[in-house]
Amino acid sequence: MSLHGQYDSRNIFALILNGDAPCYKIYEDEQVLAFLDVFPQSYGHTLVIPKSSQARNILEVEPAALSAMMAAVQRLTRIIVDELQPDGVQIAQFNGAAAGQTVYHIHMHIVPRWEGKEASEHGRGKAEAQELQALQARLVERISAQGGV
């Protein structure tokens, strides 16, 4: 898909927001939803999406939705770093197929990184459900202990 087009209300993130598809939710408020990527680049790979926007990419997103999403990304990144103790963290956002975008609902990636461990290719290799459930519980507990995001 190109940078320009119509929003598809049947994309996987829209389905998740509507309750028509499952996710490993770690955080939700009135403006954003954060969940673990089922095709993670690394352990703890988290996606953050705005709930009210039907923007496909950064060119279309409303400033208020972008601001809420980025504030949540920053707060969640702090929690993920505190909990998982990576050596680094990558924050990414893709726009258009040529840039690596595969889901056309604006979203941010939080990707913990460890020295000497290569990240998997974006969108490859599905994680085990048990591993995702255990990590979800761990992060939800940490978020709750810190009073939410």
* One-letter amino acid of 81: V
For the question of residue 109 being annotated catalytic, the response is: no
- Rounded Cα distance between 24 and 34, Å, is 9
Q: Considering Cα of 74, then 76, then 82, then 86, what sign does the dihedral take?
A: negative
- Rounded Cα distance between 3 and 57, Å, is 7
C-alpha radius of gyration, the chain, whole number: 15
How buried is 108 (Cβ within 10 angstroms: 0-12 exposed, 13-18 middle, 19+ buried)?
Answer: buried
- Rounded Cα distance between 149 and 147, Å, is 7
Q: Which of 45, 107, 109, 122 is catalytic?
A: 107
* One-letter amino acid of 63: P
Q: Annotated active-site positions, please?
A: 107
